[in-house]
A and B are shown apart, each in its own frame.
Chain A
Amino acid sequence: MSNLRRSTLLFLTACLLLPAAAADRLTVVSWGGAYVKSQMLGFILPFEEATGIQVDVLEYSGGIDEVRSQVRSWNVRWDVVDMELFDARRACREDLLVPFDHETLPPAPDGTPAREDFLEGSLLRCGVGNVIAATVVAYDHERIEQAPTRIEDFFDLQRFPGRRGLRRSPKVNLEWALIADGVPREDVYRVLDTEEGVDRAFRVLSRIKPLVDWWRSGEEAIELLEAGQVSMTSVFNGRVFDAVQRGETFSILWDHQVWFMDVWVMPRNGRRQEQAAEFIRFATATDSLARQMQFIPYGPVRRSALAQIEPDMRRQLPTAEENMATAIEGDAEWWAANVDRLTERFERWLERPVMVPRALPN
């Protein structure tokens, strides 16, 4: 066969195969680190195996700007996106997402319908919840003189002296401040909805502010604790799990943990919506979620998945019954509406010392 004929044959073969290959690919947008590892091993590889659809996973940094841009230009390259709950709500309100038919979700292995198997609030008009993560207080039980038992202890410097670590964000901090000031958890966002409520939360935070080390990433929070620089810190529960696996003697105070959820969504105007929906159904099946939880201490949104997890791991999940006793559901809707305003105020507040400075300008 001459070179020309061979090349022509290869070209024609490629032309025939390419459209088929494109139809069997799916672009899933998610996050990095151990999280994507858990997704890969939990359900992405099995999905590819079961369906023959190749999944290209892209990493993104959150927000809805890119989705909005793709949807409005009708050039949608992202088929499925793993969104923060408040982003999903915003995007749905802006009509950027395809409504999801929850009746098509697979039931639990015992036949319980999906609607009953999913936790309340995890089935959205435009998406399906997948995992739940929490912000908790952590401490080193080998170092601390007296272990905290409730979130008020975090704000009590007299009974629990020592520096504190907090995330450089108003989220969670304001909620906890109000709880420590006596606001019932069910009223937290109602109180925060008023200027007086926000002032009240900042006043409580001001009480401990001189002794707070602010962190930006979960790794920094763990480092503060490892170095003994703080006696307690807020931190994401997965980080504590990871540190304990490395041999750290950290414990979690689950009291008033604040949990948030991730949601699978499909941008509108996509070309592979059937496959995308199939992927979401597969990813949120009981077995998929349970398999994912072997690799990361997140709470699955399906009760049947939780039941399949090893008891040791289950106790470390935000959704474990005992851990949920006083939990606060981070109000994604409320934060979506207020995060910009409060972050601005929070940053201003951060720059302003509480105590009289040791040295004024001289």
Chain B
Amino acid sequence: MTASVVRGAIAVSLLAFALAAAPARADTDEVARLQQQLAALEQRMAELERRLARAEARSDRPEPASVPRRSFEDVLVDTAVLGVAVTGAERIEEARIQEAPEPEPIRFGGALRFNHFFREDVKDSRTRRGDSGFNLFRLNVDGEIRDIILSAEYRYTPDMDVLRHGWIGYRFDDDSMFKLGIHRVPFGLLPFASHNFWDGVPFYAGFADNHDIGVAYERRDGPWDFNLAFYKNEELGSAGTLARYAPDVVREGEQQNEEINRFNARVAYTLGRETGCEHEFGISGQRADLFNATTSSRGSHWAAAGHLDSRCGRWNVQLQGVRYVYDPDNPEGVSNDMVRLGAFGTSFDLAARGKLAVANVAYNFDLTGRWLDQLVCYNNYSRLFKDVGGGRDSELNTVGCGVGAGPLFAYVDLIFARNMLFFGDGSMVDSDDDRWRGRFNINLGYYW
């Protein structure tokens, strides 16, 4: 309505002035006429301003961004929207910028990776100058529709095809989130306790990047970060399955335990938040039952961790300590000094009681060239102190770099391990090997 009135007023006025202007110039008393017209113009401008003020009072917000750009004529006659001062330097940018498209509610991603490795402790590997092969094909689905979130990841590798995670979440008004499904257990350093491709001892012991099925609640409140979770059991609903992404207690051979009804809690506080030098201090705890299928009875498990994740400029330092206890209720003749874990299509043992330590340092290089987008170099050290089992500590140290260029990302790692799984006869229970064994690994992936 207001727009119509203003549009009409402008049209009538312009017509009147146009008609009046021509004869005025021909008139000998031009000055008097011009003064008269100027007075009329000022009167009209005052009236237009009053109408504009009234219109703006009804619409005190600027034009919303979603309103499409309009022609000048539209803008001119509808003075109600002329409320935003668009300053000189910004006009050119705003006019050239297309509105960012709304993100797709459901997005797809994935990766294809290949691996090349050279094992210095294996004669055949040395003779062949290493081995290459397919490593992974991965598909991801992520999305959010009306605060309900979906995230899932399927992985196919030479050893298994498996759902790494798959959960549905709900985001509350305060940005806290509830999750249901297979998701990462909130314990210790998150999301990973290492920077490299091969990962660290906590991962192989089931205390990092582990995914189980359950419910979780996440909340961030200023510098505080809270996680509460409950997991009914391991993620596949079948403790005998060895083809899984990350190690879980499995029923295999004489070891017939599985982890059930686990509660997790994690609290972290970030010191120096929003200062460019942030230090996250956190504690985590978990408590579960260990169901033994042979005795049909329940043992117990608990673990606690403290961590520091410090990101200062281009440096990242991570420290973590973990104490864990598995107290299985095995039948006579079955060792209580270890539990059997399964992943990657195989099984291996872990000392039933022990401590874990992590010390990682990484540096993100400042790249100014055109071709490389990312270069992160790191040294990741982790160690398992075995309280039972009689073996020497298991140690893993990886020095390497992650190099990114567009969709390509490669890890170039030199891995040394002692008494560690997949290195010689190393195990996380009773091996007694004093020798460091090496592996050079290049993992190249295309990520989309």
Contacts and interface: CB of A to CB of B under 8 A. Distances in A.
B21 A49 contact: yes
Given A238-B86, A355-B311, A199 B111 contact: no
Interface stretch (B144-152, B320-328, B330-338, B364-372): B364-372
B330 to A, nearest CB: 35
A330 interface: yes
B115 interface: no
A216 interface: yes
A360 B88 contact: no
Nearest to B364: A356
Interface in B392-423: 402, 404, 409, 411
B62 interface: yes
B79 interface: yes
B89 A239 contact: no
Nearest to B410: A361
B195 A360 contact: yes
A5 interface: no
A159 to B, nearest CB: 9
A107 interface: no
Q: Say which size band chain B's interface belongs to.
A: 35 or more
B12 to A, nearest CB: 14
B218 to A, nearest CB: 15
B316 A37 contact: no
A interface, by DSSP: helix, strand, loop or mixed? mixed
A38 to B, nearest CB: 8
Interface of A: 31-37, 40-41, 45-46, 48-52, 54, 57-63, 84, 131-135, 157-158, 161-163, 167, 169, 171-172, 199, 202-203, 206-208, 210-211, 216-220, 236-239, 241-242, 246, 260-262, 296-298, 330, 345, 348-349, 351-362
B156 interface: no
B41 interface: yes
A208 B190 CA distance: 23
A58 B72 contact: yes
Nearest to A247: B60
B1 interface: no
Nearest 10 CB-CB pairs, A to B? A238-B85, A61-B95, A133-B88, A33-B86, A52-B21, A236-B87, A62-B92, A356-B316, A238-B87, A133-B87
28 contacts: A31-B95, A35-B85, A35-B87, A41-B45, A41-B48, A48-B14, A49-B21, A51-B21, A52-B21, A52-B22, A132-B88, A133-B87, A133-B89, A158-B275, A161-B275, A171-B89, A199-B368, A216-B94, A236-B87, A236-B89, A236-B90, A242-B85, A260-B88, A297-B85, A352-B374, A354-B364, A355-B364, A361-B402
Contact of A31 (B21, B22, B91, B378): B91
Contact of B274 (A211, A216, A238): A211
Given A37-B79, A49-B37, 4 more contacts: A59-B72, A62-B96, A218-B94, A360-B402
Given A37-B79, A157-B274, A355 B92 contact: no
A219 B84 contact: yes
Interface in B205-238: 209
B259 to A, nearest CB: 23
A106 B371 CA distance: 56
B162 interface: no
B107 interface: no
B302 interface: no
B200 interface: no
A218 B87 contact: yes
B129 interface: no
B279 to A, nearest CB: 13
B373 interface: yes
Contacts of A345: 368
Interface string B347-388: 000000000000000111011101001101010000000000
Nearest to A30: B72
Most chain A CB within a 10 A radius of its CB, from B72, B88, B363, B367: B88
